[in-house]
Chains A and B, each alone.
Chain A
């Protein structure tokens, strides 16, 4: 226990860094994922194809590979980062966006066809149908899966710790190496801070799920 209390500032710093990574990547992934989902259902074939290829490839890429690419391969290609955090955010948001796109698309498919038909019959264009009628309803259905994706994102951000970003897992590794006799306590401390984020989010997901379950 002592080792946790002594290093509480480090834990706290790691915790904040994990929150920061997750929040920034989460916002970027949400925007990118929604755009990808919109492209996936759009009438323009090239956009559909591009979005499908992106989602299919990224969803089947291990996250470690994405990180390896962003943190090690990209800099050698001449894309230099001031901080490794930027690479981590690129990897996390590119990866998560694929899952968000799939979730939003399945939400779009869950909106009854009559909604789109009604919107079209009063003269709305594709963009209006999507942004005013379909997406608001779709997003409501996909909020629980989206929260689950965000939980996964928080856990995935731990991979950044292996690629030179000092977040929770990164500090945990450092502390474990420095305190060989108290590894158990060190890692349980790390686990506690992760659960501090993921468990409340999980409860939120199931609460929201119960609330919107009656919607359709």
Chain B
């Protein structure tokens, strides 16, 4: 809580708040109980449905799914970042002939659904699913990385570039030696947050039949029978969420570390990379 919207509660307010908390908790618990009982009526909690998790082949399939998800995300991230840097440099080039076409391309890439790009690459270039997924992720995320880094460069004090040019650096040298390193560092939290988006978007591979985690769930449900859909789905969803929360935590950690340095020991309470975090 960084802003105090209410007074430090006195005894009466604390009592009201406590009652509110208890009632709220009861409501939420009631809702959860309802969900659990509905699930139980469907036989979700029968042991045999969960017994499949003792089978090695189930975990092998899930493992394959996780591997496919992570490898697509990793390859896409490794390609998208340098490409984003390049696009950013082109976007802020002094030459209008480079700047304007790049801007149009970036608007185009950012305005399209990622799944459409995957589908496009898959059908038009006839690639396999892995390449289609990676290509879709790279095209979109490179454009977003470019915009994030550009925002970083524009947030630098004007003097940085002026000083560089004054000591005789060329425009390109000033970008590479002075501005980009600062911009990338400044925007690190947003860049890591965008990695969460990238990781989440690998699940769109499900739609183009790439064998990622969710597809593995579907395959298992088809093979083992739909009664195992829920257990497998819930485990897969938990894995996805756990991985993403870990990466999000890293973004928060970087933000705290960065702002501690910047503000001389005073950390900002929460990161706010809103624009970047939306996919």
| A residues neighboring B (CB under 8 Å) | 41, 43-47, 50, 56-57, 59-65, 68-69, 72-73, 76-78, 99, 102-103, 106, 108-109, 111, 113, 116-117, 120, 126, 129-130, 134, 142, 145, 148-149, 151-152, 155-156, 158-159, 161-162, 169, 172-173, 176, 183-184, 187, 190-191, 194-195, 198-199, 202
Closest A residue to B41 using CB positions: A78
Closest A residue to B246 using CB positions: A60
Q: Which residues on the B side are within 8 Å of A187 (C-beta)?
A: 116, 119-120, 123-124
Q: Are B111 and A145 in contact (CB under 8 A)?
A: no
B75 at the interface (CB under 8 A from A): no
Q: Which residues on the B side are within 8 Å of A63 (C-beta)?
A: 200, 203-204, 279
Nearest first, the 4 A-B pairs at minimum CB distance are A46-B24, A62-B203, A158-B113, A60-B244
B95 at the interface (CB under 8 A from A): no
A161 to B116, CA, bound (A): 10
Most B-side CB within 10 Å, residue of A68, A78, A162 = A68
| B residues neighboring A (CB under 8 Å) | 1-7, 9, 13, 17, 20-25, 28, 38-39, 41-42, 107-108, 110-116, 119-120, 123-124, 196, 200-204, 206-207, 214, 217, 226, 229-230, 233, 236-237, 240-241, 244-245, 248, 269-270, 272, 274-275, 277-279
Q: Which residues on the B side are within 8 Å of A45 (C-beta)?
A: 17, 21
Q: Which residues on the B side are within 8 Å of A111 (C-beta)?
A: 3
Q: Are A78 and B42 in contact (CB under 8 A)?
A: yes
22 pairs, A vs B, C-beta closer than 8 Å: A44-B17, A44-B21, A46-B22, A50-B24, A61-B241, A62-B204, A63-B204, A64-B207, A64-B214, A68-B214, A76-B230, A106-B270, A113-B4, A117-B4, A145-B275, A148-B274, A148-B278, A155-B114, A158-B113, A158-B116, A169-B119, A173-B119
Interface of chain A: mostly helix, strand, loop or mixed: helix
Q: Which of B113, B119, B236 contacts A176 (CB 8 A)?
A: B119
Q: Which residues on the B side are within 8 Å of A142 (C-beta)?
A: 274
Known: A61-B237, A78-B38, A99-B278. A184 touches B244 (CB 8 A): no
Q: Which residues on the A side are within 8 Å of B108 (C-beta)?
A: 191, 195
A203 to B101, CA, bound (A): 17
Known: A61-B241, A183-B124, A202-B110. A41 touches B203 (CB 8 A): no
A107 to B52, CA, bound (A): 47
Known: A130-B5, A169-B116. A64 touches B203 (CB 8 A): yes
How far is the CB of B217 from the nearest CB of chain A, in Å?
8
How far is the CB of A169 from the nearest CB of chain B, in Å?
6
A152 to B114, CA, bound (A): 10
Q: Which of B116, B233, B272 contacts A194 (CB 8 A)?
A: B116
Q: Which of A56, A64, A69, A173 contacts B204 (CB 8 A)?
A: A64
Q: Which of B203, B214, B270 contacts A109 (CB 8 A)?
A: B270
How far is the CB of B77 from the nearest CB of chain A, in Å?
16
Q: Are B230 and A156 in contact (CB under 8 A)?
A: no
Q: Are B4 and A195 in contact (CB under 8 A)?
A: no
Q: Which of A72, A73, A195 contacts B111 (CB 8 A)?
A: A195
How far is the CB of B58 from the nearest CB of chain A, in Å?
18
Interface of chain B: mostly helix, strand, loop or mixed: helix
Closest B residue to A187 using CB positions: B120
Q: Are A65 and B9 in contact (CB under 8 A)?
A: no
Q: Which residues on the A side are within 8 Å of B13 (C-beta)?
A: 43
Q: Which of A47, A72, A103, A116 contacts B24 (CB 8 A)?
A: A47
Known: A46-B28, A64-B206, A111-B3. A77 touches B42 (CB 8 A): yes
Q: Which of B21, B22, B107, B274 contacts A145 (CB 8 A)?
A: B274
Q: Given contacts A59-B277, A77-B42, A129-B6, could you give 6 more A-B pairs where the C-beta distance is less than 8 Å?
A: A41-B5, A60-B244, A62-B204, A99-B277, A116-B4, A162-B207
How far is the CB of B30 from the nearest CB of chain A, in Å?
13
How far is the CB of B73 from the nearest CB of chain A, in Å?
11
Q: Which residues on the B side are within 8 Å of A76 (C-beta)?
A: 42, 226, 229-230
Most A-side CB within 10 Å, residue of B42, B115, B196, B230 = B115
Q: Are B17 and A159 in contact (CB under 8 A)?
A: no
Q: Which of B1, B25, B203, B272 contacts A65 (CB 8 A)?
A: B203
Q: Which residues on the B side are within 8 Å of A191 (C-beta)?
A: 108, 112, 116, 120
Q: Which residues on the B side are within 8 Å of A61 (C-beta)?
A: 200, 237, 240-241, 244
Q: Are A194 and B20 in contact (CB under 8 A)?
A: no
Q: Are B277 and A126 in contact (CB under 8 A)?
A: no
Q: Are A60 and B196 in contact (CB under 8 A)?
A: yes
Closest A residue to B117 using CB positions: A191
